[in-house]
């Protein structure tokens, strides 16, 4: 029987145009989205909703079945309003819900525009098809179990009008008992002590009984992005934004000697949780601000960020001058508003940035331009020490942190000829991760 679950309540609260709903198995994702779509079809007149899955049988045995059972349970199903081929239901409001699958971009384009699109099990749909459908939809829902990172993470979530929700079976009060039992069985295949919490070290290497089932649990039990390979150096989660009430720590910065990117990240800590937020990653920056230089310098890019972030944090402020004006010292002719903006930017620049001490030129130039930059001390062995220390935290990365996400995802330990893991990083530290490590190395000053 249909129930109002926590999963439904959480999905209903989502506001962005593209709603990305990731989750464990049986989190109530699909049973949450379909009733929300039904509700919209009843309340709004003449809207068109398209539900898409990988194949026609997949959509018929999945979403169509759920649709019919919810409509039946709530005494709304009228047989005459259903057409079986193509599968479509027309409500009294003249709103329509159609169930489809697409095997080509051309067909996806030809299907025209719609009000709402639901892509069920989005990781099974190729991006070009999904993109053609999303482009022609006012509102989009995507659900999936994240076996691995795919276009919902790399393309959709990095767009501004998108939102992320992760659900687990614990959000589904209607989860059938046999599924709960299966989950318990698999969890005990994965871990030596399956009753540990994450903070107590559930996912810790020393608690992993079987890497395959540990990865399975991460994806299908915890609703995370599958990455649990014993070879992965860092496990991490994606968050929409930095939560309230966490402690701010210094910013971290890595200087890429051209053409490598220079990266700046903000960081916050709450107990064992650490949060990273990428402010920029840019290639080809010159180390020092030079009059008349054609390329942007590190300081130029930092100044842009200061202005962008102050604008974002204070949408009420009126910037009536060119951006460069606000980077100058206060003048006696400045208005109160201009003084206030200059003060906020000065404050923004005053937050400590820890950067690679070998970037002397950059650090000096940053200080000369009012940035609170320090070189991080890197004693011998500090790289490995930093990695170990960072691994001790439960790492969270904001969804806009494209380079950090790619970096955390792609860095592995080496394996020897017998396939045994050696705790030695395989290849270069990816862009951005050094900046995260410098933050950890600066812990004594937090």
Smallest distance from ligand ADP to CB 221, Å: 12
Identity of the residue, 171 or 254, whose beta carbon is nearer to ligand ADP in the bound complex: 171
Identity of the residue, 30 or 166, whose beta carbon is nearer to Mg ion in the bound complex: 30
Helix, strand, or coil here: 426?
Answer: strand
| Contact predicate 73/3, CB 8 Å | no
Smallest distance from ligand ADP to CB 20, Å: 14
The beta strands (E) that lie in 128-215 are given as 137-144, 162-167
Q: Which does 174 bind (CB under 5 to 8 A by kind): Mg ion, ligand ADP, none?
A: ligand ADP
Fill in the per-residue mask, 107 to 146: x = in contact with ligand ADP (CB under 6 A), - = not in contact.
----------------------------------------
Q: Between the CA of residue 51 and those of 54, 167, 190, 314, what are the distances in Å?
A: 11, 20, 35, 39
Q: How far is CA 42 from the centre of its chain?
A: 32
Identity of the residue, 6 or 394, whose beta carbon is nearer to ligand ADP in the bound complex: 6
Smallest distance from ligand ADP to CB 176, Å: 5
| Contact predicate 147/226, CB 8 Å | yes
Dist. CA 100–CA 116, nearest whole Å: 13
Smallest distance from ligand ADP to CB 380, Å: 49
| Residues numbered 167-186 forming contacts with ligand ADP, rule: CB under 6 A | 172, 174-176
Smallest distance from Mg ion to CB 59, Å: 12
Q: Which does 3 bind (CB under 5 to 8 A by kind): Mg ion, ligand ADP, none?
A: ligand ADP
Q: Which does 28 bind (CB under 5 to 8 A by kind): Mg ion, ligand ADP, none?
A: ligand ADP
Q: Which two three-digit tokens encode residue 241? A: 């934004």
For the CA atoms of 345, 396, 118, 8, the dihedral, rounded to the nearest 10 degrees, stands at -100
| Residues numbered 12-31 forming contacts with Mg ion, rule: CB under 5 A | 29-30
Asked if 5 touches ligand ADP (CB under 6 A), the answer is: yes
Report the first-to-last Cα separation within the chain, whole angstroms.
Answer: 53
Q: Number of residues in contact with ligand ADP, rule: CB under 6 A?
A: 16
Identity of the residue, 181 or 368, whose beta carbon is nearer to ligand ADP in the bound complex: 181
Identity of the residue, 10 or 349, whose beta carbon is nearer to ligand ADP in the bound complex: 10
Smallest distance from ligand ADP to CB 292, Å: 58
Identity of the residue, 8 or 354, whose beta carbon is nearer to ligand ADP in the bound complex: 8
* Sign of the alpha-carbon torsion through 396, 400, 404, 408: positive
Helix runs in 266-358, H state only: 298-313, 336-350
Smallest distance from ligand ADP to CB 305, Å: 38
Among 11, 14, 20, 27, binds ligand ADP (CB under 6 A): 27
Q: Which two three-digit tokens encode residue 316? A: 């009420």
Helix, strand, or coil here: 283?
Answer: coil
| Contact predicate 66/34, CB 8 Å | yes
Question: What b/e readout covers 429-444, taking b as 16+ CB neighbours within 10 angstroms?
Answer: bbbbbbbbbbbbbbee
| Residues numbered 7-26 forming contacts with ligand ADP, rule: CB under 6 A | 8, 23, 25-26
Helix, strand, or coil here: 154?
Answer: helix
> Where along the sequence are the contacts to Mg ion (CB under 5 A)?
29-30
> Where along the sequence are the contacts to ligand ADP (CB under 6 A)?
2-3, 5, 8, 23, 25-31, 172, 174-176
């Amino acid at each position: 029987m249909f129930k109002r679950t926590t999963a439904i309540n959480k999905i209903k609260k989502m506001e962005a145009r593209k709603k990305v709903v990731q989750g464990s198995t049986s989190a109530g994702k699909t049973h949450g989205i379909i009733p929300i779509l039904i509700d919209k079809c009843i309340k709004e007149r003449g809207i068109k909703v398209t539900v898409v899955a990988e194949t026609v049988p997949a959509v018929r045995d999945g979403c169509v079945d759920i649709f019919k059972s919810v409509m039946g349970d709530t005494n709304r199903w009228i047989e005459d309003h259903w057409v079986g081929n193509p599968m479509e239901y027309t409500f009294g409001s003249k709103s329509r819900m159609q169930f489809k699958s697409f095997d080509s971009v051309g067909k996806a384009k030809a299907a025209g525009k719609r009000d709402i699109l639901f892509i069920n099990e989005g990781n099974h749909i190729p991006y070009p098809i999904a993109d053609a459908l999303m482009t022609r939809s006012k509102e989009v829902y995507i659900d999936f179990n994240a076996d691995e990172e795919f276009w919902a993470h790399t393309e959709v979530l990095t767009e501004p009008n998108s939102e992320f929700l992760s659900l687990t079976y614990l959000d589904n009060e209607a989860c059938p008992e046999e599924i709960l039992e299966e989950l318990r069985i698999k969890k005990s295949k994965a871990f030596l002590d399956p009753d540990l919490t994450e903070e107590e070290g559930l996912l810790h290497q020393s608690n992993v009984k079987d890497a395959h089932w540990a990865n399975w649990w991460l994806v299908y039990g915890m609703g995370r992005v599958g990455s649990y390979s014993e070879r992965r150096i860092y496990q991490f989660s994606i968050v929409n934004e930095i939560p309230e009430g966490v402690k701010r720590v210094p910013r971290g910065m890595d200087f890429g000697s051209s053409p490598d990117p220079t990266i700046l990240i903000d960081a916050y800590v709450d107990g064992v949780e650490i949060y990273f937020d990428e402010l920029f990653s840019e290639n080809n920056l010159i180390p020092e601000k030079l009059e008349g230089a054609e390329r942007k310098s590190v300081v130029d890019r930092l100044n842009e960020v200061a202005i962008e972030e102050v604008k974002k944090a204070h949408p009420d402020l009126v910037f009536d001058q060119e951006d460069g004006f606000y980077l100058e010292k206060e003048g006696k002719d400045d208005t109160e508003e201009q003084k206030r903006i200059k003060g906020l930017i000065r404050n923004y620049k005053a937050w400590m940035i820890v950067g690679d001490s070998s970037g002397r030129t950059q650090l000096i130039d940053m200080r000369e331009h009012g940035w609170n930059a320090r070189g991080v001390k890197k004693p011998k062995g500090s790289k490995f020490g930093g990695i170990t220390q960072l691994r001790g935290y439960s790492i969270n990365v904001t969804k806009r942190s494209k380079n950090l996400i790619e970096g955390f995802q792609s860095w592995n330990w080496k394996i020897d000829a017998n396939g045994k893991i050696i705790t030695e990083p395989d290849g270069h530290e990816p862009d951005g991760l050094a900046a995260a490590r410098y933050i950890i190395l600066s812990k004594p000053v937090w």
